[in-house]
Chains A and B, each alone.
Chain A
Amino acid sequence: MAELILKNVVKDFGKTRVIHGVDLHIHDQELVVFVGPSGCGKSTLLRLIAGLEDISDGELFIDGELVNSRSPKQRGIAMVFQSYALYPHMTVYQNMAFGLELSKFSKAEIKNKVLEAARILELSELLDRLPKQLSGGQRQRVAIGRAIVRDPRVFLFDEPLSNLDAALRVQMRIEFAKLHREMNATMIYVTHDQVEAMTLASRIVVLSAGRVEQVGSPLELYHHPRNLFVAEFIGSPKMNILPAEVVNITDQSIEVSLEEGTWLKATVDSDSLTVGDRVSFGVRPEHMWISEIGDLKGTVEVIEQLGENHYLHVRLADNRLITVQGHGDATLKHGERCCIAIPPECAHIFNGDGLALQRLQTGADEQPIIVERVVEMEPA
């Protein structure tokens, strides 16, 4: 269907620059998710692509065609809004057909298109209802249907699930994935929810303060965050970051000293480091274990039981709080001392500028270790 290329796209509101030169290449049939904290410019970027806002500088190509000064309709895009933006006085059918009525289609063609979209979205029974007679999830489906009937080159979704309750969000997420597969369309999806981003995206674009922090597949971002921002943003609970100093460098790993005194190993590319450098040591809560062989010591301050998991918030000697994720029920009690093991291959190291050093072992390598450690722990 369509390929999108953004070249140094800039947006200024008055004197404030909100998008700082974004370069992006979105491939045909890709589902790209823009994710970032609120105010990072992800919705603005979407509106620039939609043509709802003027691009201040830079170029936007759809299928090789410069579309900066084209209207949304000429760009061949359809957009689904966070608030659904349904016409409140029109029925489901009218809502979906309204955009087609002025175009070249005959009444019968319009009817076919609407009925087909309604079938895909399971709205066939609801075509005569008004939006206020629908549930949130149904309204969202109507909004999607309105986009589908237009048969656009690119679908744009602006936080489409954030007005739904948690259970419905999970269900709609699956339907989005299904829809993307069935439609074979290029889709851009904006969300602040990183779970949505991880589960839906072919590729994720992480934005912060109007800049692209990293573009990559969900697992790329999870295993190889390019900088501290992405490392902390992707993953929940977020990655623990501890200030540290490089104390030892070997061929395959480095050793750092945390501020509270513990020395920890990390298997990262150490070429750019020298002993004495200030770095940040990062490790995800799910990559640490309570174990007698652990080097890092602390006191359990808060325990969050989630049933399948639990989170231990552990106070270290230097008064920093870190989060450790464990499986099943927590055996430790509030106030208990504990030792935490951090496998060197699970560690992330960020240099003084917040940029990540290349990790030498990740992903698939981590799995066996987890099993091993868990087995190790059980007798204890």
Chain B
Amino acid sequence: MTFAVLQRSGSPGKTHHSDLTMEKIRSAWLFLLPMIITLAAVAGWPLIRTIWLGFTNANLTDLTVTEFIGFENYLSFYEGEAYGLLVDPDWWNAVWNTVWFTLVSVSLETVFGMGVALILHANFKGRGIVRTAVLIPWAIPTIVSAQMWGWMLHDQFGVVNEILLTLGIINNPIAWTADPDIAMWAVIMVDVWKTTPFMALLILAGLQMLPEDIYEAAHVDGIHPVKVFFNVTLPLIKPALLVAVIFRALDALRIFDLIYVLTSSSTSTMSMSVYARQQLVDFQEMGYGSAATTLLFLIIAALTVITITAGKLKLGEEA
């Protein structure tokens, strides 16, 4: 069916369709329509609206006086001084925070996820239960787990400090989420705790796709398991790993809830999303905040395109 359609559309110049093909195309559109309308309403419209607001001076105190101001939210000059998002040190701090957070947390999650996946891939008694148990952090809503960790990491009453003090590992309580030097690491730790199961699950799916016979062949040939892992397993699950890393990286670049609940709007941990929220809600700067959101969107889009292209090139080499 698809083949016939492809062949037809592939024929040069002429786009003559038979009645049957037209009928198929019509029903295809009919089935797609509800999805297209829904997507346009919940994703398309807000996106366009946000981009538009980014070019205005909209303020939540009075939206009726909104005016188009072009690129002024991004960059403008008054008497030789540059203003706007692109020269805002707070914005670039947020960008740097987000990128750092993404790099560190995704790397740690990949390594730990791989470990967990390898363990779950092995055949042992009670694997089903362990597999379910491992998933629990991922199943808890982020707000809930962030709040939970917030309490556990509380500098005065938190269980983490209590344990470390009792064990004698630290002498004074640590302000996990308030100390600017430690807060980002606390956020990263909680994110790794929460998201490693997701990584593990995606990698496990990749592992289970691998043919078992090549491992038997390697076993018969007496190849060391570590060598088999680096020379056989890793190259073969690379595509699955790449998808998992892209998914996670995109998620991490948008990080908001975890940071907001744990550290509120603290500069040391502020991500791009937290920055945008602060502008939009706390400062009521609808236009400026929208510009930040638009930039966030562009940065993520650019990174995605780069990653996928790089991934495709790599995959292409192997094909």
Given A98-B221, A99-B222, A99-B223: A85 and B236 within 8 A (CB)? Answer: no
B215 nearest in chain A by CB position:
A85
List residues of A (72-88) whose CB comes within 8 Å of B's CBs.
72-74, 77-79, 81, 83-88
CB distance from A46 to the nearest CB of B (A): 11
List residues of A (23-79) whose CB comes within 8 Å of B's CBs.
50-52, 71-74, 77-79
Contact (Cβ within 8 A) A85 B216 = yes
Q: Which residues of B contact A102 (CB under 8 A)?
A: 222-224, 227
Contact (Cβ within 8 A) B214 A72 = no
Cβ of A113 under 8 Å from chain B: no
Cβ of B81 under 8 Å from chain A: no
The one of A51, A88, A98, A101 in contact with B220, judged by C-beta atoms closer than 8 angstroms, is A51
CB distance from A120 to the nearest CB of B (A): 19
Contact (Cβ within 8 A) B214 A85 = yes
Cβ of A146 under 8 Å from chain B: yes
Contact (Cβ within 8 A) B232 A87 = yes
B238 nearest in chain A by CB position:
A89
Cβ of A315 under 8 Å from chain B: no
Contact (Cβ within 8 A) B214 A98 = no
With the chains together, A87 CA to B223 CA distance in Å?
13
List residues of B (52-104) whose CB comes within 8 Å of A's CBs.
none
Q: Which residues of B contact A139 (CB under 8 A)?
A: none
CB distance from A361 to the nearest CB of B (A): 47
Chain A 143-175: CB-based contact to B (< 8 A → 1; otherwise 0): 000100010000000000000000000000000
For the complex, would chain A's binding face be called helix, strand, loop or mixed by DSSP majority?
A: loop
With the chains together, A71 CA to B219 CA distance in Å?
9
Chain A 237-257: CB-based contact to B (< 8 A → 1; otherwise 0): 000000000000000000000
With the chains together, A88 CA to B222 CA distance in Å?
19
Given A98-B231, A102-B227: A85 and B217 within 8 A (CB)? Answer: yes
The one of A52, A74, A98 in contact with B216, judged by C-beta atoms closer than 8 angstroms, is A52
Given A98-B231, A102-B227: A86 and B221 within 8 A (CB)? Answer: no
Contact (Cβ within 8 A) A89 B211 = no
A100 nearest in chain B by CB position:
B221
The one of A52, A84, A98, A146 in contact with B219, judged by C-beta atoms closer than 8 angstroms, is A52
With the chains together, A83 CA to B211 CA distance in Å?
10
Known: A78-B220, A88-B236, A98-B223. 19 other contacts (CB 8 A): A52-B216, A52-B219, A71-B222, A78-B221, A79-B217, A81-B216, A85-B214, A85-B216, A86-B214, A87-B231, A87-B232, A88-B214, A89-B236, A99-B221, A99-B223, A101-B227, A146-B217, A146-B221, A150-B221
**11 intermolecular pairs with C-beta atoms under 8 Å apart:** A50-B220, A78-B221, A79-B217, A81-B213, A81-B216, A83-B213, A84-B213, A85-B213, A85-B214, A88-B211, A99-B221
4 closest A-B pairs by beta carbon, nearest first, are A73-B222, A99-B221, A85-B213, A85-B217
